Amino acid sequence: MTSAASAANQQLAAGWRPRLPSRLFLRFLGRRLAALVLLGLGITFVAFVLTELVPGDPAAANLGQRAIGDPEAVRAFREHYGLDKPLPVQYAVYLQHLAAGDLGESEQSHRPVRTDLAEYVPATAELAVTSILIAFALGIALGVLAAVRRNRLTDQVLRVLSLGGISMPTFWLALVALYVFFFQLGWVPGSGRLDPGVLPAPHVTGLYTVDALIAGQIDVLGNALQHLILPACVLAAYNVGLLTRFVRSAVLEVINNDYVMAARAKGLPERTVILRHVLRAALPPIITVGGLAFANVMTGTVLVESIFSWPGIGQYAFHSATTLDLPAIMGVSLFVAVVYIAVNFAVDVLYGVVDPRIRVA
Amino acid sequence: MSSPLLSVRGLRVKLPTAAGLVTVVDGIEYDVAPGEVFGIAGESGSGKTISVLTLLDLLPDGAVVEGRAMFDGEDLLRLGPRAMRDVRGLRIGMVFQDPMTSLHPMLTIGRQLTEHVRFHLGVGTAAANARAVELLEEVRIPDAAGALTAYPHQFSGGMRQRIAIAIALACNPGLLIADEPTTALDVTVQAGILRLLDRLRRQSSLSVILITHDLGVMSSVADRLTVMYAGRVVESGPTAEVIGGPRHPYTAGLLAALPHPEAAEDTPLVSIRGAPPSPQTRPAGCSFHPRCAYAIASCATDVPDLVGVDGDRRLACPVDPLRVPA
Amino acid sequence: MSAQPLPLRWRIGLRRRAGTLGSAWRQPLAIAGMTLAAAWILVAIFVPWIAPYDPLAQTSRLFAEPSAAHIFGTDELGRDVLSRVLWGSRLSLPLAFFLVAAALAVGGLLGGIAGYFGGWVDEVVMRATDLVFAFPTIILAMAVTAALGPSLRNAVLAVVVVFWPSYARVVRGLVMSLGQSDYVNAARLLGASSRRALVVDVLPNVAGPVLVLATLDLGNAVLLLAGLSFLGLGAQPPTPEWGSMVNTGTQYFQRWWMGTFPGFAILSAVLAFNFLGDSLRDALDPRTSWAVKEQPR
């Protein structure tokens, strides 16, 4: 036997690389987690610096009218937040409070910010999740369409439309949509999560649609969906524009690869080739947009919830901004940033799930 | 030959470019007999890959095709999309050049082996998986059952190409097209792949169209071969005869350029002067004449016809400078 | 040797880029974008002569519907909406340009330094960008503006804080990859000083992506500034800023003309910049472009 042949046989006997127990991927995730914790810490530092930047006496700002006449309240406040101590100590005190979940007290509601947030988060969660689902469904469909019809009329029209989507001021779109679809056409209700007389289903998640589904109250479900549809679509507009462009380029990167031609050479119908082969390969970069889409939705809720009288943290942030309720502003910012970090981490995990090469790399 | 499995006549393919249509394949013809390995030799730019992609209608949009390709009584070039789907994978299988990119990175081997089997033959999952294991064993992949749930990146290049061959043969096609199947692989692995192809075709009277630029590979497996240059056939015939006694100056040049492992140390490497033309810049008349040592005046104006010489050989050179006198 | 010849690659690159840029301007989208942007710039320059009324002049004709006398109607203090919208361009447009220039300068400088020197400098800059990116844009801008006090000046500062990291990242990446590229090394081997190598070889390649980012950011700057003003954190009344005008419009919902037209102004300005930026990006990366013809395979 020639040396070339025996070498080939050796390679055959060696077998192929079995899938490792994802140790490397878990290590990668662990590193990411550590980095994220550090990032979380950095965020608290940013928030702390910002609170320090506020001109004027923080006690006066926080206690408002009461502070003027009550030196005892002022003294208690200063002691509680360590305002007499040097800055690094103040930061330590600040972190201590954060760790205990104390985000300060809202000047407007005179309740702990934490309580306010807990009350408003479910409404925004419902809106955000719905909006992202709509955005991905539409965005992926339109993006694939644009890629498959590249450079033809459909593609050019979608290009202009997607540019329009990311150029639109969301608050303006909300206004126009509400005026047209509620005020003029009466197709959707104008405010809130449910009609005035309708009671929400028993509280399980705080998401009216899910709770109604669990309780089997289909009429409540229908009502909640009616109220949900317009704000969710308005919030999705920007992301649909973004995703259409993104999906289009992701698909174009993949569609000329050899394995796509190989799939066609097997005689598979074109629809299968596009959906199972092309889209699957384009999915990893599309997933990474998930984090960005979430950030866009958060931005949108701040601008838009008050227009729809949607009782979520976006409206809370809006009112805090207009009334300069600093503890509330800082509290919301911190909360949203932390959730954003968590979402990005989830995206990283999802990426590894979708692309098997990453798990072993 | 008695009744060829595939018979190509007058195949001409034009592809769209920014500057208009460009003729990439300029009128080729050949026959492939049942159970034989038929080689198509040529350099990059000769149009050999495009010519076989045309058979399966895998060309980009806007391509213009002329000619006939009779396969099993049907003209492949006249089939509609539905009919073409029933040919691809089922009656004609294809293996691509680079096994690192021709398998889908995110689908399991099992899925890639069975999806077209289930589509074409309508078999259930269990039956399809059993067939997949059979195929993997046939191409000598160790632990075939385990491989079904594995992904391509877990395998070496040589193994991936074996898997690709298994995929191409899964539905028992009558014809296998292998486009440079060993070019992207180590030399040590090449021999294994070629032996595999040879064994498979002997077992099942499978015909193989083998495309390669490597005449060494050609000589070890191909029964008959055709040499392409700049979109046209310049010479064809039984492999042993063509390689043993080339009649076209280009074929002779290709063979002379092969470094001989037992040549004397200071033997200079021979090359054909000039470079192959791109499809847009092919010369008039015989496309090879600017580089040909034997060209005469008419070579620059007259396109040579492919004519039969000596039995099964065909030659596109009116000068025929290398003919061995009888 | 007296004068160093330009590296061959750069000469070729420049010619190729000039060619593709030249064809970019002929795309309909680029033309539309340029026309729209030019129109707004002209409005911003000539508004004292174009606007029919004083944007701050209050009249007794409150909430007048759009008519011949007031094409866009009047607002809650009887001011002409059309004039206010036109004057708004004098605020939003120059500010957007200034914002992007500032973010580019700060970010580009920091990114260039980080990429060039590496080491702990790089670490610090990268952590800073991470911190900014950890917040959704408006949240951070909102927090910064609220902390500093609501005014247009602070809103501008907040937007610069939010925008600079993108430029830092892009410039850093480009500087790092080019610093190791073969032709920069070759130029150095030929004796050109590394500073010269930076200017002559690195800058033209950095300019392209940065230019695309800047053009698109012009639109984002207008949007973010309008958003902050919508929240009451940017321009304060009676300044005619588009975002704050839409805010007032939401309070007087049925007087649709008060909010619709300023918002439309925002949309058209941002569209113009996005059209331009998209065409530019096409010119620089034909692979996934929306306009360039299919390449032969």
Q: Do B154 and A19 touch (CB under 8 A)?
A: yes
Q: Are C139 and A318 in contact (CB under 8 A)?
A: no
> Which H or E element spans position B40?
strand B37-41
**Most confidently modeled of A114-123, A280-289, B288-297, C98-107?**
C98-107
Q: Which of A17, A276, A280 sits opposite B154 (nearest CB)?
A: A17
Of B58, B103, B191, the CB nearest to A5: B191
pLDDT at A152 over 80: yes
Contact A259 B146 (CB under 8 A): no
With tokens 């502003």, the residue in question is A329
Q: What is the model's pLDDT at position C171?
A: 87
pLDDT tier, A360 (very low <50, low <70, confident <90, very high otherwise): low
Sort out which chain B residues have CB atoms less than 8 A from C297's CB and list them. 15, 60
List pLDDT tens digits, range A187-225.
888 888 888 888 888 888 888 888 888 888 888 888 889
* Residue type at A355 in one-letter notation: D
For B48-62, write each residue's pLDDT tens digit. 999 999 999 999 888
Distance CA A111, CA C66 (A): 45
The arithmetic mean of pLDDT across residues A216-239, rounded, is 91
Cα–Cα dist A142/A136, whole Å: 10
Q: How confident is the model at residue C4, as a pLDDT?
A: 44
Q: B130: distance to nearest CA of chain A, Å?
A: 19
Q: Is-contact C55 C245, C-beta < 8 A?
A: no
Contacts of A183 in chain C (CB under 8 A): 253-254
Output the pLDDT for position A277. 93
How would you classify residue B253: left for phi > 0, otherwise alpha for psi between -120 and 50, otherwise beta? alpha
Average pLDDT on A115-120 reads 88
- Centroid of chain to Cα B286: 23
- Residue C293 has a pLDDT of 36
CA C257 – CA C253 distance, rounded (Å): 9
pLDDT digits 0-9 by tens, B29-38: 999 999 899 9
Chain B nearest-CA distance from A153, in A, is 16
| Cβ-based contacts under 8 A for chains A and B | 114
> Helices A313-323 and A326-354: crossing angle, nearest 10°?
150
CB contact under 8 A, A12 and B58: no
Residue in C closest to B280 by C-alpha: C296
User: Contact B116/A356, CB-based, under 8 Å?
Assistant: no
pLDDT given at position B265: 75
Instruction: Give the bridge partners for B313, in sequence order.
Output: B309
Give the mean model confidence (pLDDT) for residues B169-190.
90
Is the confidence at residue B150, as pLDDT, over 80? yes
Give pLDDT, residue B292.
86
| pLDDT over 60 at B27, yes or no | yes
Question: DSSP label at A207?
Answer: -
- Tokens, residue A307: 């227009």
Q: Name the residue of chain A whose CA is nearest to B52's CA.
A: A265
Task: Please classify residue B115 by burial: count the beta carbons closer than 10 Å to its beta carbon, then call 0-12 exposed, 13-18 middle and 19+ buried.
Answer: buried
Question: In B122-206, at which residue ranges do the beta strands (DSSP E only) sit?
Answer: 175-179
CA–CA separation, B287 vs B281, rounded Å? Answer: 10
Q: Is A306 helix (H, G, I), strand (E, B) or coil?
A: coil
Q: Which of B69, B17, B52 is nearest to B279 (CA)?
A: B17
**Contact at CB, C243 and A163, closer than 8 angstroms:** no
Which residue of chain A has the CA closest to B148?
A18
Residues of chain A above pLDDT 90, percent: 33
In the predicted model, is pLDDT for residue B130 greater than 90? Answer: yes
Task: Please report the pLDDT score of residue C28 as a whole number.
Answer: 83
Question: Does the distance separating the beta carbons of B16 and C295 come in below 8 Å?
Answer: no
The 10s digit of each residue's pLDDT in B198-224 is: 888 888 889 999 999 888 888 889 999
- Residues A289-294 have a mean pLDDT of 89
pLDDT band at B165 (very low <50, low <70, confident <90, very high): very high
Three-state secondary structure string covering C76-144:
CCCCEHHHHHHHHHHHHHHHHHHHHHHHHHHHHHHHHHHHHHCHHHHHHHHHHHHHHHCCCHHHHHHHH
What tens-digit pLDDT sequence spans chain C (297 residues)?
334 444 444 444 444 444 445 555 567 888 888 999 999 999 999 988 888 888 888 888 888 888 888 888 888 888 888 989 999 999 999 999 999 999 999 998 999 888 888 788 888 999 899 889 988 888 899 888 888 888 889 999 999 999 999 999 988 888 787 766 666 667 666 766 655 655 666 666 677 788 888 999 999 999 999 999 998 888 888 888 999 999 988 888 888 888 899 999 999 999 999 999 888 888 776 555 554 333 332
| Residue A186 banded pLDDT, cuts 50, 70, 90 | confident
Q: What is the maximal distance between C-alpha atoms in chain B?
A: 67
Q: What is the chain B residue with the closest CA to A6? A: B188
**Interchain proximity B158–A11, CB inside 8 Å:** yes
Q: Which residues of B touch C294 (CB under 8 A)?
A: 16, 18, 60-61
Contact B56 A265 (CB under 8 A): yes
Nearest by CB to residue C231, choosing from A46, A318, A332, is A318
What does the CA dihedral A318, A319, A322, A326 come to, rounded to 10 degrees? -100
How high is the pLDDT of residue C194? Answer: 56
For chain A, strand residue ranges (E) read: none
The ipTM of this complex is: 0.88
The per-residue pLDDT for A202 is: 84
Contact C293 B22 (CB under 8 A): no
**Tokens at residue A204, please?**
């399980």
Q: With beta carbons under 8 A apart, name residues in chain C contacting B60.
A: 294, 297
Q: Considering chain A, what is the average pLDDT of its residues? A: 84
Q: How high is the pLDDT of residue C162? A: 93
pLDDT in tens, B76-96: 999 989 999 999 999 999 999
Phi, psi of B19 (to 5 degrees): -100, 20
pLDDT value at residue A57: 62
The answer to whether A16 contacts B159, with C-beta atoms less than 8 Å apart, is yes
Work out the minimum CA distance from B238 to partner chain A, whole angstroms. Answer: 27
